[in-house]
Structure 1
Amino acid sequence: MSNVFGAVVQQGYVVPDIDAAMKHWTARGIGPFFMEHLKNFDGVVDGKPVKLELKAAFAYSGDQQIEVIQPMGDTPCIYEEYLRTHPEGGLQHLAVWCEGTIAEKLEELKRKGMDFIVRQNYGDAHAYIDSVDQPGVMIQLMAKGEMIEKMFAIIKDGSESWDGKTDPVRRIDWSTGTPVVKAA
């Protein structure tokens, strides 16, 4: 556990082919994966507002969440940048929950003298930070909230009851404003 950020709750892998990545993990007994396809998703990359398109899928292995992300389109973002330097894909970030808000955590890190930059964020819900002195695997700060906690609970419950074969990929639909699982 990090004495700065707390427990790591998610490993985030950026991949060139999300279907192949999910097959990789399910062949190892990790799943099922819950996938979402986000289009025109509001984000900020290096301080500039963007509309992103990406596919992201989530599964659990015990208490550790595995996320695989495939950037779509050509909008510059940290995922697309990662694949340019690691075309085979790999571990791009580790995620932690924030106690309080993202802004409060960023202020706390500054007070502690950490030298970091915010590379990408999604409103007040997620911020990806990288060390200035030791860049590499980023830290994703995640704000707790009803919808993300509900989604993570659905994914966790799915992993605990999965038989290792049935419906290895399921779709998350946000069209109702809350996560709903549908057949892939």
Structure 2
Amino acid sequence: MSIHFGAARQVGFVVRDIEKAMAHWSTALGVGPWFYKEAVGTTEFRYYGQDSALPALSIALANSGSLQIELIQQRNDAPSLYLDTLARNGECAQHIAYWTDDRFDAMHQQLREAGYVEGHGGRMGTRGRFAYFVHTDLPSGMIELSETTGGKGAYFQQIAAVAEAWDGHTEPIRRVAGATVDLARSSPASTT
């Protein structure tokens, strides 16, 4: 628990093959089900403070208890911390995320005052903003702030509820399409 930002809510992993990663997490580790969006609609993006090309992202989300696990595969060469991490460290845990409904700007300012630099940030559609921060004193400790407005918080709560009731076998990978999601009815992508 951070006295400044609350509980870390998510650990994000950058991967080269998201389908393989979801299958491993669900089969070998028993984490799921995965809610997989092959083409996430990033609508605004900055890389080190400058407007930048939009990364083409595939994202999968699942919960292990109250902690959300995120898998991220970037499918183009737009500058991002995802590609920077893959080039420097390979596939790995890339960030921890703190979530907020109403303190995004204050938390953003607090990280900057502590010497953090926003490596990239933006927005996906009408959902809340996100920003990833790096610090030279802690090169392995990337922090994400995620604003849970615009339906994002409710979506995250639904994923956690479905994970809590999951039997470990039924529909381990569920494809998500569009801006709104009925998590109980998302279609299976795999039965591994």
1:83-98 aligned at under 5 Å gives the runs: 83-87=86-90, 89-98=91-100
1:40/1:178 CA distance change after superposition, 3 Å: closer
Moved more, 40-49 or 149-158: 40-49
Which of 151, 154, 160 is the aligned partner of 1:156? 160
Which of 171, 174, 192 is the aligned partner of 1:170? 174
Q: CA deviation at 1:31?
A: 0.2
RMSD over aligned CA atoms reads 1.8
Query: What residue ranges of structure 1 are gaps of 5+ in the alignment?
Result: none
Q: Confirm or deny: 8 A CA contact 2:108 2:145 kept in the other structure.
A: no
Which of 138, 144, 147 is the aligned partner of 1:143? 147
1:32-47 aligned at under 5 Å gives the runs: 32-38=33-39, 41-42=42-43, 43-47=45-49
Which of 76, 79, 88 is the aligned partner of 2:79? 76
Identity of aligned residues (%): 32
Q: Confirm or deny: 8 A CA contact 1:32 1:59 kept in the other structure.
A: yes
Q: Confirm or deny: 8 A CA contact 1:147 1:179 kept in the other structure.
A: no
Aligned partner letter, 1:134: L
Aligned partner letter, 1:178: T
For 2:68, the equivalent position in structure 1 comes to 65
What is the count of residue pairs matched by the alignment?
A: 179
Query: What residue ranges of structure 2 are gaps of 5+ in the alignment?
Result: none
For 1:102, the equivalent position in structure 2 comes to 104
Q: CA deviation at 1:74?
A: 1.1
Between Structure 1 and Structure 2, the one with more strand by share is 1
Q: CA deviation at 1:93?
A: 0.3
Q: Confirm or deny: 8 A CA contact 1:12 1:67 kept in the other structure.
A: yes
